[in-house]
Structure 1
Amino acid sequence: MKNKLNNFLGSISPWAVIGMSLILVIVVLVLAFMNYNREKQYMSRVLSEKGSALIKAFEAGTRTGMMGMLGEGPNLQVLMQEIATQPDILYIAVVDSSGEILAHSNDVEIGQQFISKKAMANLNVTNDIQWRVVTESNHPKSFEVYERFLPALGQRSQSIPSSPMQQRRRDMMQRMMGRRSGEKSDDWCQPGWMSGLKQDRILDPAERPAIFIGMDVAPFEEAIAEDISLTLTMSGILLLLGLGGVVSLFWMQSHMRSKKMLQGSQALTEEMVANIPEGLVVCDPHGRITYVNEIALNLLEYDSKETEQIVGQLADTVLPKQLWELRSSVSKENPVVEKEMELIQSSNRKLPVTTVVTDIITNDGAYVGQLFMIRDLSQVKELQDEVRKADRMAAIGHLAAGVAHEVRNPLSSIKGYATYFGSLFDEGSDNRKAAEVMTSEVDRLNRVISELLEMARPADIKLRETEVVTLLESSMRLVKQEADNAGVSVSLDISAEVGSIPLDPDRMTQAMINLYVNAIQAMPEGGKLDVDVSRQEGAILLKVSDTGTGLPEGEASRVFDPYFTTKQTGTGLGLAIVSKIIEAHSGEVQVEHTGPNGTTFSISIPTKSEGAV
């Protein structure tokens, strides 16, 4: 679920996020505007209701005063002044249709022009409450509530439907004023109640004046300003939260992309490190191992399961001393140190390696550790040995060509004269024996030349279907006399299913003779030479065994190298020629067994028929 959410968030387009942000800004602005209008409407409703209540209270006070129920002291002017002292009340004025002030909470304004006659007509004053906002340069801004002034009891009762109870109460009030019910009483007023005012115009039934109450809007505007400020603050907070969410989404997208890139780079790096054909060991600044790959473990002869145990250990307890000491050679002048060395393994085998040591420095120049790279040079050394061997073979070829031309012809003459002089002496005489030694040495030298020529020959073979039994019987007959002279018995064991395979019979016969002769020479006191042949899946297996003294310890891998020999009179080319011929047949020859009881060579030749004639 978490991965799905991360994938969804990471897939959102940046333009979609920007669009969401713009929508959020618009929503916040619309909400702020709507709240401002709502506050204005609320202020208008509250002030208009307050003004209506004050007008009704003023009219009620006026009626009460007109009936003389407030005593002889107060009058209409005092009532207006008292009401005007209430909080937020700026003035109370009674104005006729021409705009002249008939009564005012500030008696100085009486008789002055409140508004023009035209403006008064445009107000269309009725019995219902109306309001307007007045803004003048020399007066504070006011919220003005106005309606037709109806202080007389009859006029108010005519404009407002009354219940029977209310009608009886009015009749009782009229009786209290000494009049009979039904008499006209709208113009009657307590003497002195409207002292100093134009009573006839205020109470004119034909053209009733209008009453205006001006209220200070500053407190309400301040409250509205505070509400607007709070609204803007909340809107700003909401906007900041929204923008914060947008930024967080952008950051999350960036983080997800960076995380994916980092994971991809990390996976690529891990894959490269895991498959790099070199051993890697990483140490921290304190010399503790933080990473080691499997190749390094193998080169250092540790099991791959020991990785967790090795990580965290001091490198000088894990790495060979000669490798660990290379770290001191790293410097600014020499940031990368490379050196070839040999690692002594548990079997006392020397493993050739090349090592590279370098410091790990970050982009800001901080030192975070060291890297050790170990490369196995075994294959490189083997290739170098093969190149050197090929160079030696090329030199042998040139030497053999010269020897064959310059030495072989004189050897034939020397052998002829030695044989001739030997025949001049009696059988068994010293001179006769000396001549025979000369002849045998010429034959040995001629054989060395032949082996040199064989090694120098190209490994071209001419395959044809050859009966294996016939080839082996023929080759064994060629060494039968030499074996008998050495007291060596020869046996040949061939399975019936061997049959024929594609071979070069001449070159294969030469290889087998070299193996036979090598075995016979390994048994100077006599012994047994066994040749066993069998057919295996896809190949013919030949085994040549002797009962000699065996090869010296550790020399079995070198017997096929040119010029390597364990005999005092050997040339070291016989088995090298065998290896060359068998490899030309796409086969393999190796020392299967060697020891005090003899040596066994095994030859495997494929039964494929490509190139057979």
Structure 2
Amino acid sequence: MHKQPRQHRLLMGIPPWILLGAVVVLLPIFAFIAVENIHRQKEQGTRLLLEKGAALIRSFEAGARTGMGMGWSNFRLQTLLSETAQQPDIDYIIVADTEGAILAHNRQDRIGDIHGGDLDLRAVSQSESVHWRIVAEPNGHKTFEVYRKFAPAGGSGMQHGRMMGMMGRMIGRRWQQGQTEQKDGRALIEPEALNIFVGLDMTAIESAREADTRHFLFMVFILLLIGFSGIILLFFFQSYRATRASLSRIKAFSDTLVENMPIGLIAVDTKRRVASMNYVAGSVLGLSETDATGSDIGHILPVQFQHQLDALEKEGRLDEREIEITVDDGRIIPLEISGTSLNDENGESLGYVLLFKDLTEVKTLRDEIERSQRLATVGRLAAGVAHEIRNPLSSIKGFATYFKERYRDVPEDQQTAGIMIKEVDRLNRVVSHLLEFARPIAVSKKPTPIKSLIEDSIKLIQQQADGKNIAIDTEIADSVVSAELDPDKINQVLLNLYLNAIESMDAGGMLSISLVKDNVKKRIEIRIADTGSGIREDNLAHVFDPYFTTKSSGTGLGLAIAHKIVEGHNGEIYPESRPGEGTTFIVSLPIR
């Protein structure tokens, strides 16, 4: 049922110009060969009959000459002619004069009749050449006639006269040497003017020629068919090569596409064996493509995959859904999986394809978004609370200052009032930081000399560094001239990082500040490194969280605000740290 359309497409795939070109090229060639061969066979047949007729004439002349020498009678000469004519394929043997009168014939009833009246017999009798023609009888029978001058004796005129006299007596005439008599008002020709005709049956040679022609035409047809088939096969071979090259390119493209897909792909055959697997699938599942190919999925794939394949076999397709799988090392990986069945053109199943994507990063981002949303809500709440707190704080600080001035003579009251003022100031700083963190960052960019900005910021913390025996080392590339940024905001970020670094080096150390330019990415990179106590690995992911701090007196908002400022510049800030060896904060900012 389905093979017929494929064959039809195969035949329809042959361009008509191929068929027409094959006919135009091959048909004239083989037609010319056929015509040439038929003509050559005809010439060969004519030459063969001509040679046979000439040989018979020579043979009869030799017999006649021998009979003359032995003194044969007229009867014996007639017998020689009749017996010679009885050979196969001989229709007749005739001896006639120049006017066509038959002097001798293998059929005696024809003696005296006229033969060859349409020929110039006198010219024939005077020529030594052998002539031929084809005589068509009324019944349609064709005879190949060979004729020439009859010369039974090549000697003296006396011998010719004797031969002519014998011929004359065969038909009731009397020949005289050198002269003739009158009979029925017609002058007899001279003895030398006789012609001989040999009629050969063409039936056998015509049959052989027709058979050869049919055989040759059959061979021409076979050769034409072979040539035609050869051209078609050549076309098919060229098409096959082109198709194979095209398929190779398509396969290379599809293999490259599958291998470099950003999602995992597993192809399974109808026996639930892995037919193909790309790199992403192998990396997610911790499998090698070489080891997995050909293996049963029940032995290498998580059981959750087998459940999805069961659903795919049942439903024919698998819409996108999220699942969690457990790999060999015990990790639980969230995946988004979908699948479909593979069928050939006849609808027969070839297998199934499963596509899946690792949602670990997506899930992490979702958690981060949810966390950020919660923090934003808390920030908005904190901002509202901060506004409500700041007014009472002003009153508390005012009363504390009043009591401190009023009770100057009471040391305990003075100390209590000072503590109140100090704590109110600290709480006011926390509220200020909280408000700054809660409100959107407003960045006013302008061309800023980076080297001057860093050198000025270092001067602000130089005294604190010297007080803790901390050396400051700077390395600023000369190629860095300026960048588009908000100098006040970036200065706030740098001061926060400097102060954190100084506070981490209680016993002194080295504060290193470097500036490099990345011409490829069009960015500058500021590195602030210390030789302090470092940050534990489990705390690195939280250093930019609001209110996260490892210091007893910190608010936990400094790095969160710094992170927000850097993000406002479309930049990045991240730490590198090893406990006991120090910490490096990298600030990456676009030049423009």
Q: What is the CA distance between 1:219 and its match in structure 2?
A: 1.3
Match of 2:96 in 1: 95
Match of 2:298 in 1: 316
- Distance in 2, matches of 1:236 and 1:472, equals 106
Q: What is the CA distance between 1:145 and its match in structure 2?
A: 0.9
Contact 2:532–2:583 under 8 Å retained in 1: no
* 1:323–1:566 distance in 2 versus 1, CA, 3 Å: farther
Q: What is the CA distance between 1:258 and its match in structure 2?
A: 1.6
* 1:349–1:418 distance in 2 versus 1, CA, 3 Å: farther
- Distance in 1, matches of 2:74 and 2:151, equals 23
Paired residue secondary structure (1:157):
coil
The answer as to 2:135 corresponding to 1:134 is yes
Q: What is the CA distance between 1:78 and its match in structure 2?
A: 2.1
- Distance in 1, matches of 2:400 and 2:360, equals 52
Q: What is the CA distance between 1:188 and its match in structure 2?
A: 3.2
The answer as to 2:461 corresponding to 1:472 is yes
- Distance in 2, matches of 1:531 and 1:584, equals 32
Paired residue secondary structure (2:78):
helix
The unaligned stretches of length 5 or more in structure 1 are 1-12, 159-181, 481-489, 521-526
Contact 2:512–2:530 under 8 Å retained in 1: no
- Distance in 1, matches of 2:240 and 2:460, equals 78
Match of 2:155 in 1: 157
1:8-54 CA distance string (max 9 Å, x none): xxxxx998997686444333322222222222222222211211121
Q: What is the CA distance between 1:583 and its match in structure 2?
A: 5.3
- Distance in 1, matches of 2:508 and 2:560, equals 21
Residue range with higher mean Cα deviation, 392-401 or 555-564: 392-401
State the one-letter code of the partner of 1:556. L
1:187-235 CA distance string (max 9 Å, x none): 3369998775245479966163322111011111222223323333333
- Distance in 2, matches of 1:352 and 1:94, equals 120
The answer as to 2:467 corresponding to 1:493 is no
Alignment of 1:62-461 (within 5 A): 62-70=64-72, 74-115=75-116, 117-119=117-119, 124-128=124-128, 129-138=130-139, 140-151=141-152, 153=153, 156-157=154-155, 184-188=158-162, 197-200=171-174, 206=190, 208-302=193-287, 306-331=288-313, 333-344=315-326, 350-385=332-367, 387-388=369-370, 391-392=373-374, 394-395=376-377, 398-414=380-396, 416=398, 446-457=428-439, 458=441, 460=443
Contact 1:283–1:369 under 8 Å retained in 2: yes
Contact 1:102–1:202 under 8 Å retained in 2: no
The answer as to 2:510 corresponding to 1:532 is yes
1:59-113 CA distance string (max 9 Å, x none): 232333345555x695233222211210100111223344333322122323334
Contact 2:475–2:515 under 8 Å retained in 1: no
* 1:603–1:472 distance in 2 versus 1, CA, 3 Å: farther
* 1:241–1:602 distance in 2 versus 1, CA, 3 Å: same
* 1:202–1:365 distance in 2 versus 1, CA, 3 Å: farther
Paired residue secondary structure (1:75):
helix
1:565-594 CA distance string (max 9 Å, x none): 789999764542343345567463425134
- Distance in 1, matches of 2:101 and 2:372, equals 134
- Distance in 1, matches of 2:558 and 2:98, equals 147
* 1:394–1:209 distance in 2 versus 1, CA, 3 Å: same
The answer as to 2:59 corresponding to 1:57 is yes
Q: What is the CA distance between 1:293 and its match in structure 2?
A: 2.2
Contact 2:133–2:144 under 8 Å retained in 1: yes
Paired residue secondary structure (1:407):
helix
Paired residue secondary structure (1:576):
helix
Contact 1:75–1:192 under 8 Å retained in 2: no
Match of 2:39 in 1: 37
* 1:144–1:498 distance in 2 versus 1, CA, 3 Å: closer
State the one-letter code of the partner of 2:221. G
State the one-letter code of the partner of 2:63. G
* 1:564–1:149 distance in 2 versus 1, CA, 3 Å: same
Q: What is the CA distance between 1:345 and its match in structure 2?
A: 5.7
Contact 1:101–1:113 under 8 Å retained in 2: yes
RMSD, aligned α-carbons = 4.6
Contact 1:283–1:371 under 8 Å retained in 2: yes
Q: What is the CA distance between 1:374 and its match in structure 2?
A: 2.9
Q: What is the CA distance between 1:301 and its match in structure 2?
A: 2.7
Q: What is the CA distance between 1:299 and its match in structure 2?
A: 1.9
State the one-letter code of the partner of 2:542. R
Q: What is the CA distance between 1:536 and its match in structure 2?
A: 3.9
Q: Percent identity?
A: 34
* 1:530–1:317 distance in 2 versus 1, CA, 3 Å: farther
Contact 2:97–2:189 under 8 Å retained in 1: no
Match of 1:177 in 2: none
Match of 2:520 in 1: none
- Distance in 2, matches of 1:145 and 1:370, equals 89
Contact 1:469–1:499 under 8 Å retained in 2: no
Paired residue secondary structure (2:161):
coil
Contact 2:575–2:586 under 8 Å retained in 1: no
Contact 2:316–2:341 under 8 Å retained in 1: no
- Distance in 1, matches of 2:26 and 2:300, equals 62
- Distance in 1, matches of 2:24 and 2:551, equals 97
Higher relative contact order (CA 8 A, sep 6+): 1
- Distance in 1, matches of 2:101 and 2:135, equals 17
Paired residue secondary structure (1:270):
helix
Contact 1:14–1:250 under 8 Å retained in 2: no
- Distance in 2, matches of 1:31 and 1:233, equals 13
Contact 1:590–1:603 under 8 Å retained in 2: yes
Match of 2:182 in 1: none
- Distance in 2, matches of 1:568 and 1:198, equals 168
Contact 2:529–2:583 under 8 Å retained in 1: yes
- Distance in 1, matches of 2:161 and 2:268, equals 113
Q: What is the CA distance between 1:131 and its match in structure 2?
A: 0.9
Match of 2:563 in 1: 579
State the one-letter code of the partner of 1:471. L
Residue range with higher mean Cα deviation, 348-357 or 312-321: 348-357
Paired residue secondary structure (1:467):
helix
Match of 1:556 in 2: 540
Contact 1:498–1:533 under 8 Å retained in 2: no
Contact 2:260–2:279 under 8 Å retained in 1: no
- Distance in 1, matches of 2:51 and 2:476, equals 126
- Distance in 1, matches of 2:336 and 2:61, equals 115
Match of 1:523 in 2: none
State the one-letter code of the partner of 1:242. G
Aligned length: 540
Match of 1:593 in 2: 578
- Distance in 2, matches of 1:566 and 1:344, equals 36
State the one-letter code of the partner of 1:472. I
Residue range with higher mean Cα deviation, 195-204 or 555-564: 195-204
Paired residue secondary structure (1:297):
helix
State the one-letter code of the partner of 2:540. A
- Distance in 2, matches of 1:98 and 1:381, equals 126
- Distance in 2, matches of 1:396 and 1:461, equals 27
- Distance in 2, matches of 1:338 and 1:587, equals 35
Residue range with higher mean Cα deviation, 323-332 or 343-352: 343-352
Residue range with higher mean Cα deviation, 49-58 or 389-398: 389-398
